[in-house]
Every structure is written in structure tokens, then in C-alpha cells.
A and B are shown apart, each in its own frame.
Chain A
Amino acid sequence: MIAPTDIPSRTNPQETFVLNLGPQHPAAHGVLRIKMTMDGEYVTRAEPIPGYIHRMHEKMGENRTWTQFLPNTGRIDYLSALHYNHAFVGAVERAARIEVPPRAEYIRVITSELNRISSHLVWWSAYLLDLGGFTPLLYAFADREKILDLLEAITGSRLTYCYFRFGGLCNDIDDAFIQGTRAFVAQMRPRLKMYRDLVTDNIILRKRLEGIGPISAELCRKYGATGPVLRGAGIAYDVRKVEPYSVYSQLDFHIPVFPEGDSMARYRVRMAEMEQSLRIIEQALDKLPAGPVMGKVPRVLRLPAGDYCYAVEAARGRHMVRVVSDNKDIPYRVKLRTPSFSNLSLYEEASKGMMLPDALALLGSLDLVIPDIDR
């Protein structure tokens, strides 16, 4: 809902007040701070102030070896750690021309897609909490728990995974994981239908989201927003399709796109993506080849001098790692292009003139992870 522009107070600074949202606020995720200039219930300016959880990941990359930076990648966006693992090992493999065995690539895809579903489930439950619905969280976390159990059994950790290695994986998957994943896929399909009945079709949710927080494709292009935000604005941009990496080109799936551009479109994109991820997992399990999970890697890793990039489709959009090497065992530069930062950038322009509860509905629909913004 856009505020009428002819209200005199909107131009008078004495009639507005500043609402400080965060860095510690129940409606703001993590420690994001947004300085909102309000005209009554309407937002006239929402200025995001990031930096409260900046940990210098890029600088840390410059003073440790290539291998030693690996655990950092799982802690940038802690909800989709495996995608970030993938981008970094991908960049190094591309630079050092390390060949990855096909089995390892398939397992990377399976685990990444499981991670995508678990990430979307966290978004779903947190978003509905923002909007005032508590119960969906309990359903979503029951399903997420199954994914975490599966991934814990093979990676050893539940959230900040460090599973991929240059040239492959740190260990192979077992039959229990394969059977567990198949059982999970079979269970998850009826659950997604249940989510639709319980929440997506619910009239209260639809009235809260439909037509709220429109983001056009042009606005996304201006700020570099990617992922479900861009696909909810009608652009079928997905790194898995436009720059296929790993074995995604051999798998059959489609990119859900919704042209409406409102919060509901972004919501629907993520719900449809979970279904597609299940499809990808199923196919990858069917095609899973036998063989080693680790390729030939030199004992001391030294990348040839140069500039290398690798992009993956993380749960929040395009995540790209750029590494610059000067032929030493320590990187010269590690640049992390994270999707949440770009997705947050458009918030100031997109939220102008919205009612406060709608502006929060828009903020939640961007699916921000604060360590991913600050990194």
C-alpha cells in the first residue's frame, strides 16, 4: 500500500520520527539495523546499517593457506554452508586444474540441494514468525531436522559444514545416507502439499503478501539482486542453468519464475524451488556413479598466478568467489560476492512509502542472512 503523496507532513521534517529497527530487535533477523524515518505508519526512508557482525572473512583469506580458508566458507551464510564450500573449492579447482571424480560431483549436488531445502525451510518458518504465525515453524523444523540428521551423519556437523575438499569430498556417503535421502524425498512431497494447504492458500497470508512490496526486474538489475528475489520478478536467472557448474547440466529440472514481483511471488518461488530440489536429488541418486570421491591433488597447493572466478546458485542467489593468486601458497585476494548484500541494497528504494508491517513483510521476503551481508 503506497501512502498518498499529497499529505503535507511528508515534506515537513518536523512531522517525521526515526524508528530504530535493530540491531537487537525481535522482528529483525540477526543483527541487522535499519534506521527508519517514519511518517506515522508510513516509511519515508529505510536506511540499512550493516556491519555489526563483520568478521573480515575476505582479509582472513589473505593470511592463511588455500586449505585453511575452507572452514571459513561454511560460516559466511551459515544456512547454506555447502553452496559456499562449493564456490570456493570450485574456484581453486578451476585455477589449479584439479579434476573432480564424477561421484564426488553428484554427491556435491545431492548434499547442496538438501542444504537448499533446509535453508528454505528456515526462511519459511522465520518469515511466518515475522508475519505472526508460530505453528508452521514447528512443522518446518521437524522436516529440517531430518535433513540435518542426514547431513550430520556424513559431514559430522549440523550447520557449518566443511565437507567439500579441493578435488572431491572429505569422505564418501554410505548406503544409510542414500536410503535415508530417498525416504526423505518420499516424505517431503506430501509435506509440501500440506504446507500449501496450511499456509500458502491461507487467506490471511495471501492478504498480507499479495501485491505487497513490489520489486521490478529493473530494480533487481539496478542493485544486482539475484536468486528468488529476481525470479519472483519474472526473470529466469539461475546460475545452475545459465552457467551450469558441477553436473547440473546433466539433470532435468526447471527454474520456477513468478512475474508478479510482490512478496507472494518470492514466497512461491521458494516453495516451488523445494519441489525442484527434490527432483534433482532423486535424479542424482539414480545416476550416482561408483568410484573414488577424491581426485589427484598436489600435496602442497600452489595456484598458478592469475585471477579466477566461480559462481554457484546459493539458496539466496548468486554467490561468486573470486580468487587472485600470485603463485604462493597463500591467496593474494579472496573476494566474496554474496547475494544477501545485493538483495538488501534494494530495500531502501523498494520500501519507500510502505506501511511499517508491509515493509517488514518485504524485508522478510528478501530472505536475508546477516553474516552473509557483513561477512
Chain B
Amino acid sequence: MKASILDVPRGFWSLLVGMRITLTQFFKPVITVPYPHKTLPIPARYRGPIELTADPATGKALCIACKLCERACPSDCILVAGVKLKGEKKKSVTEFKLDFTKCSLCGACVEVCPCDAIRFSKNYNLASTSKEDYIFDLVARLQAEKKQP
């Protein structure tokens, strides 16, 4: 009986304590960012869909079409093809398709690559209404990037 009577002032006090916390919050600075008008910096290790890297000297893709990434991928989302050009020691990549609908961004391809030809991009604005938009042709993308530096 005594405990239940004491419950009333104690309970009321606990509500006041809670309200004080809520009220002080009104005078604290805003911590949210009004996306998409403002965006936060993306960390260096952010894992976006993979992209090919180019040799800074020649501008050609570093990929030698060894297909190790194709084999390492757990979801079978990479397709690589390459040819051996005349006068070059290693193969050159002609086709590098990424099916991003299946990719889980695990990074197996990036880790297995013997010549650091693949890296994670920082691209995260990827909304689309059609599935075909997620089949990325990475060789074509690299060439397009080269044209407009």
C-alpha cells in the first residue's frame, strides 16, 4: 500500500526528468544534413560498384583479362573478355561487364586482382527503373571518362 502511494510522486518525478531532457534538446545544434542539397564526405574505403583503373601513363585499362575476378566472385556477376594485341606482352581487356543486380560488394574481385586493375567507386546515386541500367560496361565507362577528363 505504502509502496503504491510512493509510486505516484516517484513516477511523476521520472516524467519530469524525461521532459527536462527533451526540453534541453531544443537548444542543441542540428545534427542532420538536408540531403540531397548537402551531402557528407564519403570515406576513402567506401564500397561502391567496382570500376576499372587506368594506367596513368597510357590511359589504357590496367586489366590483363586474367579472369581471376570472374572466378573469385561469389555471385557470378563479372564477365571478362580480352585479346592479345600485337607487340604487347600481356592481354588487353576488351569487355568487362558487371551485373550490379547480383553484386554484394564483398570485394573478392578487388582483393584477388594481381595488377590492381579494379577498385571500388564512390558512386551511390544508382536509382533506376530498369534492370538493364545495372549491367555496367566498365571498359566503355573507362573510355568515356578518358575523353572528358
Contacts and interface: CB of A to CB of B under 8 A. Distances in A.
Nearest to A135: B22
B101 interface: no
A202 interface: yes
A162 B17 CA distance: 42
Interface string A197-209: 1110111100000
Interface in A58-96: 64, 67-72, 75
Contacts of B111: 170
Interface in A130-186: 135, 142, 149, 152-157, 160, 162, 170-171
B46 A156 contact: yes
Interface residues of B, number: 26
B107 A198 contact: no
A194 interface: yes
A74 to B, nearest CB: 8
B119 to A, nearest CB: 11
Interface in A234-278: none
Interface in B103-128: 104-108, 111, 120
Given A68-B74, A71-B104, A162-B107, A197 B18 contact: yes
Contacts of A70: 74, 106, 108
Interface of A is mostly: helix
A68 B10 contact: no
A328 to B, nearest CB: 16
A70 to B, nearest CB: 7
Q: Size range of the interface on A?
A: 20 to 34
B107 A202 contact: no
B49 to A, nearest CB: 12
B14 interface: yes
B89 interface: no
A203 B7 contact: yes
A184 to B, nearest CB: 14
A202 B31 contact: no
A188 to B, nearest CB: 15
A203 B15 contact: yes
Contact of A155 (B7, B22, B45, B74): B45
Contact of A194 (B21, B72, B73, B108): B21
Contacts of B149: none
B124 to A, nearest CB: 11
A142 B106 contact: no
Contacts of B36: none
B76 to A, nearest CB: 10
Contacts of B17: 197-198, 201
Interface string A313-356: 00000000000000000000000000000000000000000000
12 contacts: A135-B22, A142-B31, A149-B43, A155-B45, A156-B105, A157-B105, A160-B104, A162-B105, A170-B107, A203-B11, A203-B12, A204-B15
Q: Which 4 A-B pairs have the closest CB atoms?
A: A203-B11, A71-B106, A68-B74, A156-B47
Interface of B: 7, 10-12, 14-15, 17-18, 21-22, 31, 43-47, 72-74, 104-108, 111, 120
